[in-house]
Structures are given as C-alpha cells and as structure tokens.
A = this chain, B = another copy of it.
Amino acid sequence: MTTPSDFTPACPIPISDYPQVLLAHGGGGKLMHQLIEKMFGPAFKNPLLDQQHDGATLEINGAKLAFTTDSHVVHPLFFPGGDIGDLAVNGAVNDLAMCGARPLYLSAGFILEEGLPMNSLWRVVRSMQRAAAAAGVQFVTGDTKVVDRGKGDGIFINTAGIGVVEHNLTISPKAVRPGDAVLLNGDIGRHGIAIMAVREGLEFESAIESDTAPLNDVVLKLIAAGIEIHCLRDITRGGIASTFNEIASASGVNVAMDESAIPVREDVRGACEILGFDPLYVANEGRFAAFVAAKDAERALAILRAHPLGKEAAIIGTVTADPAGLVTMKSRIGATRIVDMLSGEQLPRIC
C-alpha cells in the first residue's frame, strides 16, 4: 500500500486553506475552477484537455469526434419539468452540441443506493429512454454499481457521450473575439429555481418548471445555415455569470452584457428575490450562449426564434477588447458594473 509520503509533489491546493473538499468545489464557481486549474489540469495535462471546452474534440482515423462526460447528482431526483434521468441525457447531449457535434452515442453509469425504491429506478430509466429518443441518441454501453445505504443518495448517473463533428468551424472559448455578438436562446434561471422551490417547499401560483431540453437540433440549425459561430456554451452550474467569466478569461476579452436584454420570467425573478438569488448565477439546463460574428447576429437570432427552443432568444451583449478578461453588465439605468464569478456554492447539487 502506498502512503502519502510516497508522493513527492505536495498537494497543489493549499491544505492550510482547504484541508477538505467543500460543497463549493463542485459548484461551478471559483473553488471548482481552482481545483481544475491547479490540480486536475496540470495532473492530466495534454493539448486536448487544454481546449477548456464542454467536451474534447478529437480526430481518430480521419473521423472528427467530440467526447464528453457529466455526473449527475441532482437532489431531489424528481422535480417540476424533469428528473435526474432526462437531465443526464440532455447534459451529455448539450455538451456535445456545444462542441458543434452531432450527438450519437451515450454511456450510462449508475451508482444506486441500497434501498432505492425499484419503481424510482424504473421511472428514471423510462425518462432516460424518452429523452434519448427525443435527442436522437442511443445508449450503447453501461455500468451499474450499488453502494450501501447511507453511502449514496438514491441515484447518481454518469453519462458520457460521443458525437461527430461535421463542420470546419473552430468553436472554442479561445475563438471569441471583440465585436462578436452574444446570443441566448431564452429566459434564464428556471432550472435552478425549480429545484430550489421543491427543496424549500415553496409554492408558486403556477409551478416553475426546469428548462431541461436537448439543444443539439437548434445548434445544428445554426451550423447548417453557415452562421460564423466562434463559441457555444450551455449555461449550467454557476449561471451566465460564471459561464461568461470562463469565456472572458479564456479569450482575454470583455463580455459586455446588457441587463435589459436578458430574458428572465417574472415568476423566476420573484422567486429569486424570495430565495435571495441573482438570476445571473442560477443554473439552466436548456439554455446556451452563442458567440457569433457580428455580421451574422441578426440571422442567427432569426434561426433561434424560429425554433421551439429559442422563441425567447435575444442578443444580450457584445464582446469588446477591454476590460480584458472581465464580464461587465450595463444596468437598466445605464451604469456598468463588473459581474464576478461566483466564489462559493450558491445552489448545491443542482444537476
């Protein structure tokens, strides 16, 4: 058995600061990025991993592929608008779509907790089946583990996915450049609020449902139309604030948002106020941002709005050179402020 003393290099996360893993290390904010940048990134360093994308794009024997993985630990398992099953399918599908790939094949890795009602597993499996059919993907391989009662939480699902890249665009956070238009395919905040409302026992006049949806079809329509896409990102953990900070940081540009252009439903805004959240930081599961060349912005917007998953699409900002690496937002009254990455965990186990 190896002992810690066998390891010459010290832990790259200062143990004095973080002796233990915190919930925030999985929250999509600063601590998670520190873990990725200081520990995982250097340990597994290679050019493909350095793409800093939702998935890796690879070439094998002439075939251009995208490859992605996501583990899903959402709590509760069932929530308004979806469950862990469709979330797991759409999560993998959307990561592949954000590479501009056509999703083809998924794997499913189940970690079940002893004592899980068999019917709950069946509900989730049925939900995965329907979501896979809706997205046009197939589960081709899988694995099941069961852990003792109290060592898991019902169901955790990992989905990895393979897609095929059939275009010649360079879609990457590093390809974003000043002048790009920033488009969003709809209103933000619904998934996170749907989950938190169940957890907190909040009831609204009409239920706020998760926006979970497969984004491959709408993305492939943008590509098919020849839109000059520079970057695509689904807006999940950490919300648009964290997503845009990642992109601003990767490409050394400023993502300048216009608050009045960002669609937020009134009931979601109200729920955010009650719960003390800022919609900019709330997770979505059917929303993505497209960074496109300015010349194509209006055409891209029209394509999004013509799609069932883009009816509320909007151009919510532009990319500028300065202040480099930052996200800014012009408020409704005209003041501009810096929108930072979330430092901790706003909504744990949201996906």
In the complex with contacts A1-B78, A9-B126, A116-B20, A69-B107 CB distance below 8 A: yes
B146 lies within 8 A of A348 (CB)? yes
Residues of B within 8 A of A44 (CB): 108, 125, 128-129, 132, 138-139, 142
Interface presence of A308 (CB below 8 A)? no
Q: Which of B49, B73, B348 contacts A111 (CB 8 A)?
A: B73
Contact at B152–A151, with CB atoms within 8 Å?
A: yes
Cβ-defined contact, B118 with A21, below 8 A = yes
> Measured between alpha carbons, how far is A342 from B46 in the docked complex, in Å?
42
Contact: B138 with A46, CB < 8 Å? yes
Instruction: Report B-chain residues with C-beta under 8 Å of the C-beta of A48.
Output: 105, 138, 140-141
Quick check: which of A55-63, A177-185, A290-298 contacts chain B, the rest being far away? A55-63
Q: How far is the CA of A109 from the CA of B73 in the complex (A)?
A: 11
- Shortest A55–chain B CB gap in Å is 5
Inter-chain contact B58/A105, CB cutoff 8 Å? yes
A324 contacts the other chain (CB 8 A): no
Q: Which of A46-86 contact B (CB under 8 A)?
A: 46, 48-49, 53, 55-56, 58, 60-65, 67-73, 75, 78-81, 83
Oligomeric state, in copies: 2
Q: Is the CB of A153 within 8 A of B153?
A: no
Given A11-B122, A115-B20, A142-B69, does the pair A1, B39 have CB atoms closer than 8 Å? no
- State whether the Cβ of A261 lies closer than 8 Å to any Cβ in chain B: no
Which B-chain residue is minimally distant from A73 (CB atoms)?
B145
Q: How many residues of A contact B (CB 8 A)?
A: 100
Task: Give A161 Cβ to nearest chain B Cβ, in Å.
Answer: 9
Residue of B nearest to A60 (CB): B63
Residues B20 and A118 in contact, CB atoms below 8 Å apart = yes
Given A2-B127, A40-B108; 20 other pairs, CB 8 A cutoff: A2-B123, A7-B122, A11-B119, A12-B122, A13-B118, A20-B114, A20-B115, A21-B113, A22-B146, A23-B148, A24-B146, A44-B129, A44-B138, A68-B107, A71-B111, A73-B111, A111-B156, A143-B158, A148-B349, A152-B153
18 A-B residue contacts at CB 8 Å?
A: A1-B81, A11-B122, A15-B118, A26-B144, A26-B147, A44-B138, A46-B138, A46-B140, A58-B140, A61-B63, A67-B105, A69-B108, A69-B109, A70-B109, A73-B145, A147-B349, A152-B153, A160-B160
